Amino acid sequence: EESTPRPVTIGSKKFTESVILGETLRLLALDAGHPSRHRAELGGTRILWGALLSGEIDIYPEYSGTLVREILAGEDLSSPERLEAALSARGVRSSASLGFENTYAIAVPEPLAQQLGLRRISDLREHPDLRLGFSSEFLERADGWPGLRQRYRLPQTRVQGLDHDLVYRGIAAGHLDVTVVYTTDAEIARYGLRMLDDDLGYFEDYQAILLYRAELAEEAPAAVAAFRRLEGAIDAPTMAGMNGAVKLEGDSEQTVAARLLSEGLGLE
Ligand code: PBE
C-alpha cells in the first residue's frame, strides 16, 4: 500500500516578495504531489526562523545576508563549510541563490536629493534634521539602523519605525525624507526615489535563498527537487516585475506565482 505524501508547510514574511515566493513554493509542492499549505505573512525574520526550527513550517524564503548578519550573528561563519555546519547543527539546509539579490538601500526622493546634493549615505551626515522612516524590523536588526548609524556616524534623531509598505506612503505624502527600501521594490521607480551609494560598504549581499528542514530531503524528496528548480531561475528585474504586478497593478500573489511557474519555469 502506498503511503500518503508528507504534507509540506510553507512560511513567508510580511512583505509582498516573500508571499509571492511562498505561493510559488506551495504550487511547486502541489505539483510534486504533496499536500501543501502556505502560512502567508507569518511575521518577521525571527518568527520565521523560530517556526522553521520548531517544525511549525518546513521551508521559507530567506536572504543570505540576513542569515549571516542577523539570524546567526556572532557565530564563526568564515567559510561556506562553517555556515553549512551551523545550519545542519540546527537541522536546516539552504538552497543556492534563486538568482537575485534583494538588499537594503537608503533612498531619498529625487528632488530632495538634488536640492541637498545627496549621492552617498555619508552625505546624510551634514543634514541632521532629515526625517527618517524605516521598517520596524530594520530599526532593530543587527544589520539594520543601529549599525548603520554607528558606521556612518549619522546624527538624525527623527527616526520612525513603520510597516514597510507605509514607508512609501510616508514618502509620497511628504512626511518622511529618507527611507530604507528593498532593492527589488517596484515602488523605487514609481515614487522616483534615488538610492544613495553605500560608500562605506555597510550592507551585506542579500541573495534570495530557501531555508528548509533537513528531514524534508528524505521525507519529501520530490518536493525538495521541485523547490530547487528555483535556484538561479529568477533574476532581479523579474522579481521586481512580479512585486510591481502585485503592489502597483493589483494582481494577487497567487496569480503572479502561477505565471512564474508557467512562463518562467515552463511548468503547467
Ligand atoms: N530584505 C532586504 C531582507 C534583508 C534585506 C527585506 C529582503 C530580509 O531579511 O527580509
pTM for this one? 0.93
Decide: 183 in ligand 1 pocket, CB within 6 A: no
How far is the C-alpha of 147 from the C-alpha of 133, rounded, in Å?
16
The pLDDT tens digits of the residues spanning 116-175 come to 999 999 999 999 999 999 998 999 998 999 999 999 999 999 999 998 888 999 999 999
Return the closest-CA partner of residue 259 out of 11, 23, 35: 23
66 Cβ closer than 6 Å to some ligand 1 atom: yes
Predicted local confidence at residue 198, as pLDDT: 98
Length of the chain: 268
In the predicted model, is pLDDT for residue 97 greater than 90?
Answer: yes
Average pLDDT over residues 97-120: 98
Three-state DSSP class for 120? strand
Beta carbons within 10 angstroms of residue 37's beta carbon: 14
Q: What is the pLDDT of residue 2?
A: 58
Burial of 114 (0-12, 13-18, 19+ CB in 10 A): exposed
| pLDDT given for residue 147 in this prediction | 95
Ligand 1 center from residue 219 Cα (angstroms): 29
Q: Tell whether the model's pLDDT for residue 34 goes beyond 90.
A: yes
Please name the residue ranges forming H helices in the chain: 16-31, 45-54, 64-66, 80-88, 110-116, 136-140, 145-152, 164-172, 187-190, 216-219, 221-227, 236-247, 253-259
pLDDT band at 104 (very low <50, low <70, confident <90, very high): very high
Distance between CA atoms of residues 97 and 20, nearest Å: 16
Question: What average pLDDT score do residues 190-215 get?
Answer: 97
- Please indicate whether residue 184, judged by its CB atom, sits closer than 6 Å to ligand 1: no
Q: What is the pLDDT of residue 164?
A: 86
Tens-place pLDDT, residues 210-262:
999 999 999 999 999 999 999 999 999 999 999 999 999 999 999 999 999 99
Any ligand 1 atom below 6 A from CB of 203:
no
Asked if residues 154 and 131 have their Cβ atoms less than 8 Å apart, the reply is no
At which residue does the C-alpha cell 518577521 appear? 44
26, pLDDT greater than 80: yes
**pLDDT average, residue stretch 18-46:** 97
119: phi then psi, degrees, rounded to nearest 5:
-120, -35
Mean pLDDT value across the chain: 95
What is the average pLDDT across 24-37? 97
**The predicted structure's pLDDT at residue 114:** 98
- What ipTM was estimated for this complex? 0.94
Residue 238 CA, chain-centre distance (Å), reads 15
CA angle 231, 96, 12 (to 5 degrees): 75
Substitution candidate for ligand 1 out of 46, 66, 143, 167 with most atoms within 8 A of CB: 66
Q: Parallel, antiparallel, or unpaired for β 208-213 and 59-63?
A: antiparallel
Grid coordinates representing 175?
512626511
Q: How confident is the model at residue 94 (pLDDT cuts 50, 70, 90)?
A: very high
Closest of 108, 156, 163, 101 to residue 134, by C-alpha: 163
Residue 266: what pLDDT?
64
- Smallest CA-to-CA distance from 92 within 200, 212, 268 is with 212
